[in-house]
Amino acid sequence: MAPLNDTLNALGLHHTAAHLDDLVALATKRRWSPIQLLEHLVAEEQQDRTRRSLERRLARARIGRFTPMTEFDWAWPTRIDRAAVEAALRLDFLAATRNLVLVAPQGLGKTMIAQNLAHQAVLGGHRVLFLTAAQLLLDLGGQESARSLARRLQYYSQQGLLVVDEIGYLSYDARAADLLFQVVSRRYERRSLVLTTNLPFSDWPTIFPNAATVTALIDRVVHHADIISLEGESYRRRVAESARKPSRG
């Protein structure tokens, strides 16, 4: 069946080509009519294309390995609006073209929540990109021409959902603030943005010292935004301390 396999692959029917022998055997065993065979073939191709499309979008989203929300310890933070987090996981903010900002000290799970949000958005059929603020600004700052910078800004503005993690862990110069402002401005009132930060907005000038655009940046982020704050001590620190404690025999 090699020539037929080649033709099926050329037509884009890759799943059928890969499972042709099994398909013929199944159709013979069940005595399918030509219509039943075609219906089965189409259903299998659609299912396979949906699977491959999801795999591609997950790879492009660059979410990485993450812990699912079923393992999140809701009792650990001393303050968390669970209803707001669960609404965000339903992508309510995305449907309303709103931004979402997760504000919490290190180790309370804001990145985990952001990764789960990104994953849900991919499952919902959205084009998603997850990256840290350092990765974003290093990429934009490394462009060698105005044309290449414009292309990268366009790339970030076109994502259905852009998730920028870890704003506040490093300090940046005024040009970095201007670049982040351009990303936010291009997405403003057009596409949603998720940010995670360990600092309240009042401390953002310390991230971008001497940057004139900080106030305008914050204003555009929060204008149409849901802000979820988490308070408490680091969950990772608790796990590390528990691991260091000698067991009692």
Contacts of 74 (CB under 8 A, 6+ apart): 80, 82
pLDDT in tens, 204-216: 999 998 788 999 9
Q: What is the maximum alpha-carbon separation in the chain?
A: 76
Whole-number Å distance between alpha carbons of 67 and 111: 10
Whole-number Å distance between alpha carbons of 34 and 27: 9
pLDDT at residue number 236: 64
Helix (H) or strand (E) holding 100: strand 99-103
pLDDT at residue number 239: 62
Going by C-alpha positions, the residue among 72, 95, 68, 94 that lies closest to residue 82 is 72
Domains present along the chain, CATH in parentheses = 2-61 (no CATH), 69-237 (3.40.50.300)
pLDDT at residue number 249: 47
| Stretches in the chain below the pLDDT threshold 70 | 1, 236-249
pLDDT at residue number 174: 92
Q: At what angle do helices 20-30 and 34-61 cross, to 10 degrees?
A: 140
pLDDT at residue number 81: 97
For residue 3, with 0-12 CB atoms within 10 Å meaning exposed, 13-18 middle and 19 or more buried, which class applies?
exposed
